[in-house]
Amino acid sequence: MTDWFAGEVAARYDKSTAGMPVEPVVDFLLPLASGGALELAIGTGRIAVPLAARGIRVAGIDFSPDMVAELRRKTDEIQVAIGDMSTTKVDGMFSLVYVVFNSINNVTSQDGQVDVFANAGAHLVPGGCFVVEVGVPNRQRLEVFDLSDTHVGVDELDFDTQRLVSHHFSLVDGEWRRISVPFRSVSPAELDLMARLAGMELRERWADWDRSPFTAKCTKHVSVWEKAA
């Protein structure tokens, strides 16, 4: 399994995501995290660090040692296990497990994504919740998802295999650089089935962290599944 976030990607990650929302995410997660929170694909701690600053016991799992090294520049207080989020375990149980910003799509097989739900369920107390932020499947084979003076993002989707490749063209130090990262696109309905296999049921689904309604026009969703009591 390739670590697509190693080296320069990890070093630039916080800068490249500086414009993304943090407080709305933490506000959404906080009421679910009274019994502790586990972040899958915790990365540099963009969400975990401010959540911990709100008094929540936070732990994490991440595949990339370089991303976790960036997290360690911020704090040593968050327990992190290095490994695949579909199988890696951490100590303790939690009222919340969450994965944000399409990171569940980094698991590129259906079996692997099913295992992510199973692993989340194994860390949840009865009545605990698994929260996922992820895009809905693209409607075209090629879609431009970002276009700016310093970054161009193009998604390439094979509808038959659900294989999605995100091509990122970034202007770094006056030079354009490209990285192409493989994902597995997955529909809300397929995720709901994965949740049921893991002993969870859909509790709520929103278009974004502000709890705006989820409709057929939405490009992503924030979904909450609850583990059976």
Q: pLDDT tens across 52-105, in order? A: 999 999 999 999 999 999 999 999 999 999 999 999 999 999 999 999 999 999
pLDDT at 229 over 90: no
Q: Do 18 and 130 fall into the same domain?
A: yes
| 156 is a domain residue | yes
| 51 is a domain residue | yes
CATH number of the domain at 197, please.
3.40.50.150
Q: Provide the CB-side half-sphere exposure for 134 (13 A, CA).
A: 27
Q: With 0-12 CB in 10 A as exposed, 13-18 as middle and 19+ as buried, what is 138?
A: middle
Rg (CA), the chain: 17
**Percent of the chain whose pLDDT exceeds 70:** 100
What predicted TM-score, i.e. pTM, was given to this entire model? Answer: 0.95
| 2 is a domain residue | no
Q: What is the pLDDT of residue 158?
A: 96
- Average pLDDT of the segment spanning 158-178: 93
Query: Residue 210 — φ and ψ, nearest 5°?
Result: -85, 5
Question: What is the span of the domain harbouring residue 161?
Answer: 138-185
Q: What is the pLDDT of residue 13?
A: 94
Q: Do 173 and 191 fall into the same domain?
A: no
Distance from CA of residue 163 to its chain's centroid? Answer: 17
Q: Do 202 and 216 fall into the same domain?
A: yes
pLDDT at 1 over 80: no
> Given pLDDT bands bounded at 50, 70 and 90, which one contains residue 48?
very high
Q: pLDDT tens across 137-146, in order? A: 999 999 999 9
Q: What is the pLDDT of residue 58?
A: 98
Q: What is the pLDDT of residue 173?
A: 86
Query: Residue 113 — φ and ψ, nearest 5°?
Result: -70, -40
Least confident of 11-20, 21-30, 31-40, 70-79: 11-20
Count of structural domains within the chain: 2
Q: Do 197 and 115 fall into the same domain?
A: yes
Q: What is the pLDDT of residue 172?
A: 87
What CA–CA distances, in Å, run from 137 to 4, 36, 104, 211? 21, 31, 13, 20
| 3 is a domain residue | no
Q: Do 208 and 223 fall into the same domain?
A: yes
Q: What is the pLDDT of residue 44?
A: 98
Q: At what angle do helices 110-123 and 188-197 cross, to 10 degrees?
A: 50
Tokens of 192: 């709901």
CATH number of the domain at 162, please.
2.20.25.570
Mean pLDDT of the chain: 96
| 210 is a domain residue | yes
